Amino acid sequence: MILYQTNLKNITSIKLADFFVRWPKPPSPETHLKILENSSHIVLAIDENINQVIGFINAVSDKILSAYLPLLEVLPKYQKQGIGSELVKRMLDQLIDLYMIDLACDDNLVPFYNKLGMKKFRAMGIRNYDKQSGVV
């Protein structure tokens, strides 16, 4: 059974293994935990049978007007089961009172987010790939 929670109760870095698939310099599970701790909102998907986080989404927000969704990931073994959609829906429910909720994604993910009610906009950004692991 998949459980969803919006806090880090009983979550350790050990329960955050194997994320950031295909990243050349992925954050460590310890850095991943710090990312979640410093987020304004989170939703975690947990496989109750193995007591492991198998998906997550986070938001950074001013809690007044805007929020940005930097990360959504579901472990490969659990993809195509509706978990990513459920994570997004639960996050959008938390942020429903805000004026703008933004994210940036690759073109191939636009249909996924369209199905969840999001609209395509233009975005700009900078990527410092040498800092991708989060290690300073």
Q: State the pLDDT at residue 135.
A: 78
Q: CA 104, CA 102: separation in Å to the nearest integer?
A: 7
Q: State the pLDDT at residue 123.
A: 87
State the average pLDDT for the chain: 96
Look at strands 100-102 and 41-47 and give their pairing.
unpaired
Q: State the pLDDT at residue 94.
A: 97
Q: State the pLDDT at residue 61.
A: 98
pLDDT digits (tens, 9 = 90+) for 34-56: 999 999 999 999 999 999 999 99
Q: State the pLDDT at residue 124.
A: 87
Domains of the chain with bracketed CATH: 2-123 (3.40.630.30)
Provide the whole-model pTM: 0.94
Q: What are phi and psi of 53, to 5 degrees?
A: -70, 130
Could you list the mean pLDDT of each consecutive 10-residue stretch along the chain, which spans 136 residues?
A: 97 96 94 98 97 98 97 97 98 97 94 96 89 85
Q: State the pLDDT at residue 108.
A: 94
Q: CB count, 10 Å around CB of 98?
A: 16
